[in-house]
Amino acid sequence: MINILEVNETNKMIEQEMLDVRTITLGISLLDCCDTDLDRLNTRIYEKICRTAKDLVRVGKEIELEYGIPIVNKRISVTPIALVGGQACHSPEDFVTIAQTLDRAAKEVGVNFLGGYSALVSKGMTKAERDLILSIPQAMASTERICSSVNIGSTKTGINMDAVKLMGEIVLKTAEATKDQNSLGCAKLVIFCNAPDDNPFMAGAFHGVTEGDAVINVGVSGPGVVKHALEAVRGKNFEVLCETVKKTAFKVTRMGQLVALEASERLRIPFGIVDLSLAPTPSVGDSVAEILEEMGLESVGAPGTTAALALLNDQVKKGGVMASSFVGGLSGAFIPVSEDQGMIDAVNRGALTIEKLEAMTSVCSVGLDMIAIPGKTPATTIAGIIADEAAIGMINQKTTAVRLIPVIGKDVGDVVEFGGLLGYAPVQPVNKFSCADFINRGGRIPAPIHSFKN
Amino acid sequence: MNKTIITVVGKDAVGIIAKVCTYLSNNQINVEDISQTIVQGYFNMMMIVDTGNASIPFGDMARDLEQIGQEIGVHIKCQREEIFEKMHRI
């Protein structure tokens, strides 16, 4: 029987160490909404989302109340819209109407973000996919809750450098289109290599074509719990350190698994996966950077940071895998700058640069995330950064992503406020040397040799 | 069996257990186990109760007990047992 010490430990994690379920994400397939008529397509999309997700927020709140565990976000992911809208949309403007329909549906069912305004172009681009990508700036500027993602490469296909070049331009145009809100549109736009089909976390969530009609995916969190557990083993060797992270990750994930199964049963929608991620928020004590510093770094960014992060990421997975029957999504430690107070502090004290962040992304999910850069950064430089991240993902057979915010009108030294979970960020310097001739070559980078496993 | 864990944390005072138990008994909720400690003057109690025959829904019970807690100056929380079971037992 459960004893008072165990009850107190769990409640201390929730009340003092900010343990929560970060998101219940309902994946909805929109493939059965496809139509040649745009109005009919929009109506069918709106109706399907509202019908499938009508109880999502209510059930989320019920579970919160009954288990006493906060569920921070209830969200929706949908089939990549480039696939859904292909028959009906003949221009980027046509696609924007779908973004607006999705936004209305998200508001109607009460979710704070809906992901899947996406295109998967890792090898080539159809006309519909190109139109969707071209529509992103306008779609982001005219909606509130829609998240967009584009997959531009994979280990199996190589990197679509035409898409990389285009995305450099699209990121800048999105920044320009939303400059009144500190270029906020770019905070809802992710460029992936090896994008997973079942990621519950925004902004990169979409409901892949390998998925069923609807699915419940859950993302857990809990950097504060890991940090607190490590405080008790200060100065101990790496074996003890690793065991502590693993045990803590197990407990956190078990809670996520419970919530996922409950939500699945109450909504009568199949359970997909639990995403074992340490997702920070801007709140003090909810930081991945603080975990790395607790391991013994004076500041995140110092030599040893990549090793510390690799260890953390691996132990979280080892603990989490046993706690859940299905693991998927991104599963790793997130290192967004603006959403993690410890990362923000490290940038401000000059300890953490984009180059070090790039090295860190080779050992953790996901990538260069929520980094504010000068608004005058050239599109080809942004494309170069995307290409570097995609190369890390392609060669290491892992997901990598880029979510950069070139803040129009801001430069190094300025601080940009995004609000809420998106936090705030100091504008970071970008290497000023050009890669334009490299990016402008066009074409594809072939798949790496170790992808040929058949 | 629908087991719920009720935790009561706060400054010690006369009649905390009596008030909570009276409420539970009035609503057909059976107390199966109680453990309590007092750490530095702070009252810390855990009850395992069976809500299988309860005359009220879970949400009402949680809200009522929170209200009773506020009246006597302690924090009362109701949570289904599974969250602790899953986290601490394999």
Instruction: Read off the CATH number of the domain in which A321 is found.
Output: 3.20.70.20
Residues A154 and A303 in one domain: no
Q: Is B62 on the interface with A (CB under 8 A)?
A: yes
- Indicate whether A309 belongs to any domain: yes
Boundary-marking domain end, from A193, A228, A254: A193
- Indicate whether A240 belongs to any domain: yes
Given this model, what pLDDT does residue B1 score? 60
Q: Which residues of chain B does A7 touch, with a Cβ-Cβ cutoff of 8 Å?
A: 5, 7, 46, 84
Average pLDDT (A160-181) is: 97
Q: Which residues of chain A does B61 touch, with a Cβ-Cβ cutoff of 8 Å?
A: none
Q: Is B23 on the interface with A (CB under 8 A)?
A: no
Residues A176 and A225 in one domain: no
> Which amino acid appears at position A305 of this protein?
T
Q: Residue A15 above 70 pLDDT?
A: yes
Of residues A8, A9, A68, nearest to B79 (C-beta): A68
Give the start-to-end residue ranges of the domains of chain B: 3-88
- Indicate whether A156 belongs to any domain: yes
Q: Residue A364 above 70 pLDDT?
A: yes
Q: Name the least confident of A103-117, A396-410, A425-439, B6-20.
A: B6-20
Inter-chain residue contact A7 with B36, CB threshold 8 Å: no
Q: Residue A251 above 80 pLDDT?
A: yes
Exposure string (b/e) for A76-105, b if CB count within 10 Å is 16 or more?
A: bbbbbbbbbbbebbeebebbbbbbebbbeb
Average pLDDT (A291-308) is: 97
- Indicate whether A12 belongs to any domain: no
Size of interface A-B (CB pairs under 8 A): 61
Q: A198: pLDDT confidence band, cut at 50, 70 and 90?
A: very high
Distance from CA of A321 to the nearest CA of B (A): 13
- Tokens for B18? 């009596």
For residue range A369-398, list pLDDT tens digits in order. Answer: 999 999 999 999 999 999 999 999 999 999
Given this model, what pLDDT does residue A454 score? 86
- Tokens for A146? 């829609």
Given this model, what pLDDT does residue A222 score? 86
Domain count of chain A? 2
- Indicate whether A212 belongs to any domain: no
Residues A234 and A331 in one domain: yes
Q: Which residues of chain A does B58 touch, with a Cβ-Cβ cutoff of 8 Å?
A: 65-66
Average pLDDT (A239-265) is: 95
Q: Residue A308 above 80 pLDDT?
A: yes
User: What's the CA gap between A448 and A150, in Å, rounded?
Assistant: 21
Inter-chain residue contact A4 with B36, CB threshold 8 Å: yes
Distance from CA of A220 to the nearest CA of B (A): 13
The pTM for the full model equals: 0.93
Given this model, what pLDDT does residue B13 score? 83
For residue range A124-167, list pLDDT tens digits in order. Answer: 999 999 999 999 999 999 999 999 999 999 999 999 999 999 99
Average pLDDT (A392-408) is: 96
Q: Is B10 on the interface with A (CB under 8 A)?
A: no
Of residues B44, B78, B88, nearest to A2 (C-beta): B88
- Average pLDDT, rounded, for chain B: 91
Given this model, what pLDDT does residue B2 score? 84
- Indicate whether A233 belongs to any domain: yes
Q: Residue B69 above 80 pLDDT?
A: yes
Cβ neighbours, 10 Å, residue B11 = 11
- The fraction of chain A above a pLDDT of 70, given in percent, is 100
- Indicate whether A7 belongs to any domain: no
- Indicate whether A124 belongs to any domain: yes
Q: Which residues of chain B does A10 touch, with a Cβ-Cβ cutoff of 8 Å?
A: 83-84, 87-88
Residues A188 and A266 in one domain: no
- Tokens for A276? 């074992």
Q: A112: pLDDT confidence band, cut at 50, 70 and 90?
A: very high
Q: Residue A18 above 90 pLDDT?
A: no
Residues A39 and A153 in one domain: yes
Residues A67 and A124 in one domain: yes
Inter-chain residue contact B82 with A67, CB threshold 8 Å: yes
Q: Residue A27 above 80 pLDDT?
A: yes
Given this model, what pLDDT does residue A32 score? 96
Given this model, what pLDDT does residue A28 score? 98
Question: Packing angle between helix A127-141 and helix A161-177, nearest 10 degrees?
Answer: 20
Boundary-marking domain end, from A193, A210, A238: A193
Residues A170 and A293 in one domain: no
Q: Name the least confident of A361-365, A408-412, B78-82.
A: A361-365
- Average pLDDT, rounded, for chain A: 95
Residues A135 and A257 in one domain: no
User: What's the CA gap between A448 and A444, in Å, rounded?
Assistant: 12
Q: Residue A303 above 90 pLDDT?
A: yes
Distance from CA of A413 to the nearest CA of B (A): 45
Look up the domain containing A186 and give its range: 21-193
Q: Residue A365 above 80 pLDDT?
A: no
Any idea which fold B3-88 has? Alpha-Beta Plaits (3.30.70)
Q: Residue A236 above 90 pLDDT?
A: yes
For an interface test with A, give the residue of B51, B79, B81 to mutate (most A CBs within 10 A).
B79
CB of A100 closer than 8 Å to CB of A135: no
Given this model, what pLDDT does residue A381 score? 98
Distance from CA of B9 to the nearest CA of A (A): 10
